[in-house]
Structure 1
Amino acid sequence: MTGFRRPRALRPGDRVAVVSGSSPADQANLEAGLRAMEHVGLKPDVFASAREMGVDYDYLAGDDRLRAADLTAALADPAYAGLFLACGGYGMQRTLELLDWSRIDPARPKVVVGYSDVTALLEAIAVKLGWVSLFGPMVACNGFHQGPGRFDFDTLMTLLFTPAEVGGLTFLDARTIVPGVAEGVTLGGTATLLAASIGTDTSLPARGGILFLEDVDEKLFRLDRIITQLRRSTYTDGVAAILLGTFTDCGEPREVERLLVDRLSDLGVPVLAGADIGHGIAQQTYPIGVRARLDTGTGTLTFLEPVLSS
């Protein structure tokens, strides 16, 4: 896991694509998010999937072919400096089945931002194209649509426009599960999606990496099953370190942490919990595909290379 291609930083006036690869977007939030993007100088083009409501299923933004065609076009068109996902939900795994990677030039990386169900796309981009991407706020959900002045929006925009100012992430409420310092390439995302991708041609195993995990709306026993699947599948073999974010509505927090300690502390690598990345919070943006150092003593993730090129 070396040599990921870095997209260039965004600039005022850049055209960017807004696409739904999963569930329908809240249209009021989407409009607010578009205004926030325009406020910082971006020129968003809204693809049809971002406007689609459920057709065959109420949890999917249009049909699979539409979502895949929109994603393919947005990733392939050199006119776009970036791709922002409108929202998560469910459906990206279906979309990836039809995405036409042959149309996308790996040598022309562009910024891709999303989280939750978009984890599957970020993994696929790393495997198929070798691009750095960003596990971060989406246009029509969380705080993005609240725009400037909101922590998650502001920190994302700082990273996108002035990446040299972002040398890493500090986690003020971090808790050391297993002490230590380790270096590796950042990867991971929403645990459910990582487990669902195992056995596909877009899964990115954690060997040599700093693995980030978070999740939402999973009962404790299901979260146990997901983490156990990551272990039994050999996905976690050779991992360098583990960073744990939010596990929103996954059970009583002390019980969730007890489970994570039980399932992850015997891997023999540093483990840090309490990162403000994930669902239900004003989150920091976590890059995928960047060499970094995790220090559980200081509660920091230091980037050993720029996230984006200037």
Structure 2
Amino acid sequence: MNMIKPARIQKGDTVGVIAPASPPDQEKVKQALSFFTELGLHYKLGKNIECQYGYLAGSDEERVEDVHSMFLDPSVKAIFSARGGYGTPRIATQIDYEIVKNNPKIFWGYSDLTFLHNAFIQKAGLVTFHGPMLSSDLGGDSIDPLTKSRFMQLFDSQSFVYDETISPLVTEIPGEASGLLIGGNLSLLVSTLGTEFEIDTKDKLLFIEDIHEEPRSVDRMLNQLYMCGKLSDATGILVGNFKECEPSHSLSLTLAEVLQHYMKLANKPAVSGFQIGHCTPHVAIPLGTFSKLDASNRKVIIESGVK
């Protein structure tokens, strides 16, 4: 697959902010916008960012309109999601991927945005960014320094090495592996199965994370990926942060036991402990870039996501 890397941004550029999933906390969005100002950037809000339709940030049509508008707007150099939540799978079939492909730019978010990351990679060949969002991560009184620093990857094209200088890592299965880095939120990855957006892990490094899922639920989802051949098709596996995924009663396997079970079944080089996901600090990474995992020495080298 020939992936398209979006152009890096520069100080003085304008970035767009949209809400393609659930409605964000508008006050937190306003607080977070000062972060872009700190980076020397201007910002433009999506036309429908204040819309609300139940647990969605507006109707499907309104949310698709903002996606298309931001990609088509030549003044906007990068697109950031205000929050995750629910709803991006609903709009995936309505997005014009030719617009995305012909107007490649930085697209940033995580959690529910996993579905769009996967869709943009598959349908438009666009490298995207798995990173913290305005309402849920950047709208507080302070932002973790490491979380902040990973936004600088958008300004230059240097590769990134994640090793134990960043967080403690655990070798689940030793060995080396390489390929395009794909993945994101486990629940959303599983929701692609059986659709035209089904995750393709063949010869790729698979990254997974999640939040508020008990070990039994993580077990069910990993089992489904395993039975579909998605774990064994991957060249290697990166396990990110599984926040608040503890069992609610004593009759349970631990999360670690569940993860270890499926890593052994897949028998591919695997490392856990990456601070990527619903966590602080939250280390942002590009998806769709070529990466090398050295599981034995607990590190991964990730190619830059911008050109």
Fold similarity call, TM over 0.5: yes
Post-superposition shift, 1:308? 1.1
Query: Amino acid of the residue matched to residue 46 of structure 2?
Result: F
Q: Deviations over 1:130-189 (max 9, x none)?
A: 011110111222246556663212222x1111332x432224310111111111110010
SS at match of 2:93: helix
Q: Deviations over 1:53-87 (max 9, x none)?
A: 3x3x2x11111110111112212333221110000
Q: Does the aligned pair in 2 maintain the 1:36–1:146 contact within 8 Å?
A: no
Partner of 2:7: 8
Partner of 1:271: 270
Q: Deviations over 1:60-117 (max 9, x none)?
A: 1111110111112212333221110000001111122322334x05143210110000
Q: Does the aligned pair in 2 maintain the 1:30–1:145 contact within 8 Å?
A: no
Q: Which whole-Å CA distance do the structure 2 matches of 1:173 and 1:52 have between them?
A: 41
Which stretch has the larger CA shift, 227-236 or 14-23?
227-236
Partner of 1:170: 163
Q: Matched residue pairs, number?
A: 301
2:242 aligned residue (243, 247, 253)? 247
Q: Which whole-Å CA distance do the structure 1 matches of 2:177 and 2:129 have between them?
A: 21
Post-superposition shift, 1:262? 0.8
Q: Does 1:226 pair with 2:221?
A: yes
Partner of 2:83: 87
SS at match of 2:119: helix
Partner of 1:306: 304
Between the two proteins, what is the percent identity of the paired residues?
28
Q: Deviations over 1:171-208 (max 9, x none)?
A: 43101111111111100100000000112222331111
Q: Does 1:180 pair with 2:179?
A: no
Query: Amino acid of the residue matched to residue 134 of structure 1?
Result: F
Query: Amino acid of the residue matched to residue 111 of structure 1?
Result: I
Query: Amino acid of the residue matched to residue 63 of structure 1?
Result: S
In structure 1, stretches of 5+ residues that fail to align are none
**How big is the alpha-carbon RMSD for the aligned residues of Structure 1 and Structure 2?**
1.9
Q: Does the aligned pair in 2 maintain the 1:144–1:153 contact within 8 Å?
A: no
1:161 aligned residue (155, 162, 169)? 155
In structure 2, stretches of 5+ residues that fail to align are none
Q: Which whole-Å CA distance do the structure 2 matches of 1:113 and 1:250 have between them?
A: 25
Q: Does the aligned pair in 2 maintain the 1:5–1:130 contact within 8 Å?
A: yes
Q: Which whole-Å CA distance do the structure 2 matches of 1:246 and 1:80 have between them?
A: 31
Q: Which whole-Å CA distance do the structure 2 matches of 1:96 and 1:74 have between them?
A: 16
Q: Does 1:216 pair with 2:211?
A: yes
Partner of 1:238: 233
TM-score by length of 1: 0.91
TM-score by length of 2: 0.92
Q: Does the aligned pair in 2 maintain the 1:101–1:128 contact within 8 Å?
A: yes
1:206 aligned residue (201, 210, 213)? 201
